[in-house]
Structure 1
Amino acid sequence: MTVEVRHRRRSDARDNRERILAVARLAFATDGLDVPIREIARRAQLGPATVYRHFPTKEALLAAAFAEQMAACSAILEEGLAHPDPWLGFRLIVEKLMETHALDRGFARAFVTQLPAEAGFAADRARTLRMAAEIVDRARTAGRLRPDFVLDDLILALMANEGIRADDPTTRVAAARRFAALMLQSFQATPSRTPLPPPVRLPLPTHEIPHSRS
């Protein structure tokens, strides 16, 4: 085998892997985590064997697909944890997590979803949740966060933020900022009535009403 052929095969393999990951991220973010490998392969216009050659298990594909989002989650939480003001650190992670999720629907999945265990990924997720719990505890101990607030409430807010629907990314981010402000006011031990970001007009979901049979 010539050097040129080996180089081309390596390049094709890299391209296939990136295509699989791009398709998988979009599929998992829009259709949930139950999308089968065969469907991922079909959307990537590759054979299932090619997908399995790069990712021997569904768990390996999930972990690789969400690795970038998990790293982004960790960076935001590290920034919040490093903030000298416990409440401002908590506010920072709520705002940034929601804004980032508005641009990448797969983002929150890495934070709120218990994915199947895969080497490294489960440990990273556990570390991320520990940092979030510490940020919550600091803000609560400082008396700024309501005493009955728990980490599950933060996850609930992120899951609710996932319901924002708009084709325009700028609109989604603006809506996420307003939603974050509303949530933060409700999370405070003593709610303040600071002005909210401007309201955002979102498209309402439409459902076809079936015709009744006469």
Structure 2
Amino acid sequence: MTTHLTHTMRSDARDNRERILDAARTVFVTDGLDVPMREIARRAEVGPATLYRHFPTKELLVAEAFTDQMRACRAIVDDGLADPDPWHGFCRTIEQLCELQARDHGFTAAFMSAFPHAIDFAAIRTSSLTGAAELIRKAKGTGRLRPEIVVDDLILMIMANNGIQARTPAARVAASRRFAALMIQAFQVSPVAAPLPPVPRLMPLSPK
């Protein structure tokens, strides 16, 4: 009986922690990092005491939300590297990274600015660049990736994707998907005229 209760309590604690992180990621993306902790607790449907038990400071909560984002990014690259078809893996990585960044909506940049010493950013960058270089190497082995493509081209793509402005989060994601499709065609040795995702409405029409 005691073992069952302990297991249940641990399960409840894990659920609460995940709810807090889910709520925090959402609110940080939509409302910025200045959202009060009590508001995050309300969104997660837990009491403030429960929130502070898991995350005693806001910096710890933001850092964990950011770490989850980095895990998602790394998982995308790892899945691409594990794909038995390196070209397909390369393309899927491009698509998923662009969409992840579009949904991020500046959270990563805001975190790095607000908490520059919270995480070893140099180690994250080194790991990311190493994975990207291996992804490019394997894709070139298929003969479908242009031989002059280098890691800096992927960085340039990410920077451009980060600059997409749209009226709604859905439109931003849609624009990112179209941009990723255009980039994949640009990376190919012999681009295939595949259908592109639809064009989203990015900015309001100018008054006539």
When normalised by structure 2's length, the TM-score is 0.63
Deviation, 1:131, is: 0.9
1:155 aligned partner: 158
Check 1:72–1:8 CA distance in 2 against 1; reply closer, same or farther (3 A cut): closer
Tell me the SS of whatever aligns to 1:44.
helix
1:63 aligned partner: 63
Deviation, 1:195, is: 3.2
1:200 aligned partner: 199
Query: What per-residue deviation string (whole Å, max 9, x for no partner) do you get for residues 20-47 of structure 1?
Result: 3233201222244xx23x6132343378
Q: Is the 8 A contact 1:66 1:106 kept in 2?
A: no
In the alignment, the residues of structure 2 paired with residue 75 and residue 12 of structure 1 have an alpha-carbon distance, to the nearest angstrom, of: 26
Check 1:119–1:136 CA distance in 2 against 1; reply closer, same or farther (3 A cut): same
Q: Is the 8 A contact 1:70 1:110 kept in 2?
A: no
Q: Is the 8 A contact 1:80 1:135 kept in 2?
A: yes
In the alignment, the residues of structure 2 paired with residue 63 and residue 116 of structure 1 have an alpha-carbon distance, to the nearest angstrom, of: 10
- Measured on the aligned residues, the alpha-carbon RMSD in Å equals 4.6
2:89 aligned partner: 89
Check 1:110–1:88 CA distance in 2 against 1; reply closer, same or farther (3 A cut): farther
2:146 aligned partner: 145
Structure having the higher helix fraction is 2
Deviation, 1:7, is: 9.6
Aligned residues: 197
Deviation, 1:166, is: 3.6
Question: Which runs of structure 1 show a deviation greater than 6 angstroms over 4 or more consecutive aligned residues?
Answer: 5-12, 46-49, 119-122
1:24 aligned partner: 24
Q: Is the 8 A contact 2:82 2:89 kept in 1?
A: yes
Check 1:96–1:17 CA distance in 2 against 1; reply closer, same or farther (3 A cut): closer
Deviation, 1:178, is: 1.8
Query: What per-residue deviation string (whole Å, max 9, x for no partner) do you get for residues 87-141 of structure 1?
Result: 4432221012234555xx2388569974645579985665344212322354468
Percent identity, aligned pairs only, is: 45
Give unmatched runs, 5+ long, in structure 2.
none
Give unmatched runs, 5+ long, in structure 1.
208-214
